[in-house]
Amino acid sequence: MQAREKLSAHLRSRIIELSELKREGRKVIGYLPGGYMPEELVYACEAVPVPVGLFRGGEHEPVLVAGAYLPRWIDTFCRAQIGYKVLKEEPLYDLIDLLVVPITDNNVRAIADCWNFYTDVEVLRYGVPHAKTENGFRYYLEGLHLLKQKLEKLTGTKITDSRLKDAIRLCNEERRLFQEISLMRKAKCPPLTGREFVELNHASFLIDKGAMVEILRSLCSELSQQESSRPRQPRILLTGSTLALGDYKVYDLVENTGGAIVVAEEFAEGMRHFSAEVSLDGDLMEALADCYFRRRIPPAWFRPARERLDYLIRLSREFDVDGVIWYQLMYRDSYDIESFYFPRILKEETGLSMLKIASDYDASELGPFRTRIETFIQIIRKN
């Protein structure tokens, strides 16, 4: 497919592009991709956002290496980010001029503190309150204003309404296209696998936004013309805290080995959220806060938890899902605690079953995961 080839080409050359942009004087803004940092603000001051902390995941070596820098009782993904920085295998981690960390919980705070303690990179934190109250919204909005001021100071470029609107339009277009492709997965035979969708989603964090929008437009057109006569496969909703680039073992096990297909996913971190668009009316900063804080599906560390759980149930129905796989990383407590009582709610409201798997990015997990996923798919197939 032409669109995918273009995407691969862009991905291969992106590090070189970024290095050149940096040499030209553009600032590179690293951030943790938990969905609470509006990229629009970065584009509006002509800087480049790169997801430090998305770029890699799923491997055990960085997790092991991180043990010399922070305790093991921190979420696996967060430890891995420190490990990748230590291993110096990812040039992206060394390109950034500023690291922006929206603080959601203690695990993410640990990453920010490690960067502060062990590197010379400036770190900017602002908080994400754990409830969508009016006070919480105002607090988050104040954080975005802090971010705006910092970006303007760093880049020397004022973030005007005009620049911000242009950035919002571009990002909204990307969201709209992702929504369009996502809805194609409701089809009896989706035109792309779950892994393909996730790789696309991850790529959108890395390559130039304009190029990504063009690729998505082409892909939409290509996919809408695809026909398939495959028999219906068992359909899976995948949910969890974090899905990092490279952490695709669950997709491979479900779709390659298990003969099922992931038709929808919901993750707090690592995935681009695209269900809500930023309004262009009124105060633009409030519009950003409204989209990124109020209208996004909250992670498990938000109260009340039912908003997210009800969303999962709605998603299960809309995508005609046959089962849910709950994929969590070790020591992300919020997810583990919710995984205790969500299966009962899911069963009562939809009749669906749930499989919970917990990973520490360890290769030895693959065997047990394969057995459990295959068995789960067999069970839901019979049902």
Minimum distance, C-beta of residue 237 to other proteins, in the bound complex (Å): 21
Q: Could you say which residues in the range 130-189 bind other proteins, by CB under 8 A?
A: 130-131, 135-136, 139, 142-143
Instruction: Give the nearest distance from C-beta 127 to other proteins in angstroms.
Output: 2
Estimate the crossing angle of helix 161-184 against helix 194-206, to 10 degrees.
170
Main-chain phi, psi angles of 100, to 5 degrees = -105, 125
364 binds other proteins (CB under 8 A): no
Q: Does 125 bind other proteins (CB under 8 A)?
A: yes
Q: Least distance in Å: CB of 69 to other proteins? A: 6
Q: Which is nearer to other proteins, 147 or 206 (CB)?
A: 147
Q: How far apart are CA 102 and CA 36, in angstroms?
A: 6
Residue 348 lies near other proteins (rule: CB under 8 A): no
Residue 336 to residue 329: CA distance in whole angstroms: 9
Cβ neighbours of residue 190 closer than 8 Å, sequence gap 6 or more: 184, 261, 263
Candidate segments 35-43, 64-72, 192-200, 364-372, binder of other proteins by CB under 8 A: 64-72
Task: Work out whether 99 is an interface residue with other proteins (CB under 8 A).
Answer: no
Reading the block at residue 249, the tokens are 């073992």
Q: Which amino acid is at 287?
A: A
> Is residue 70 involved in binding other proteins (CB under 8 A)?
yes
CB 325 within 8 A of CB 237: yes
Residue 87 interacting with other proteins (CB under 8 A): no
Instruction: Write down the least CB distance from residue 379 to other proteins, Å.
Output: 22
Q: What angle do CA 165, 266, 275 make, to 5 degrees?
A: 30
Tally of CB atoms within 10 A around 289: 24
Does residue number 11 form part of the binding site for other proteins (CB under 8 A)? Answer: no
Which of 29, 156, 44 shows the shortest CA–CA distance to 97?
Answer: 29
CB of 31 to other proteins, least distance (A): 14
Site string for other proteins, 282-321 (x = CB under 8 A): ------------------xx-xxx----------------
Q: How far apart are CA 101 and CA 158, in angstroms?
A: 21
Backbone angles phi, psi at 4, to 5 degrees: -70, -35
Distance CA 325, CA 318 (A): 16
Please report how close the Cβ of residue 188 comes to other proteins at its closest, in angstroms. Answer: 35
Number of residues that bind other proteins (CB under 8 A): 50
Q: Does 109 bind other proteins (CB under 8 A)?
A: yes
DSSP string, 17-81: HHHHHHHTT--EEEE--SS-S-HHHHHHTT-EEE-TTTS--S-HHHHHHHTTTS-SSS-HHHHHH
Each residue 319-338 as x (binds other proteins by CB under 8 A) or -, in order, gives -----------xx-xx-xxx
* 30 versus 258: smaller Cβ distance to other proteins: 30
The only residue of 15, 127, 191, 372 in contact with other proteins, by rule CB under 8 A: 127
* Residue closer to other proteins (CB basis): 235 or 308: 308
Nearer of residues 336 and 349 to other proteins, judged by Cβ? 336
Q: How many CB atoms lie within 10 A of CB 251?
A: 23
**Residue 341 interacts with other proteins (CB under 8 A)?**
yes
Residues in the site for other proteins, rule: CB under 8 A? 68-71, 73-74, 85-86, 103, 105-107, 109-110, 113-114, 116-120, 123-131, 135-136, 139, 142-143, 300-301, 303-305, 330-331, 333-334, 336-338, 340-341, 358
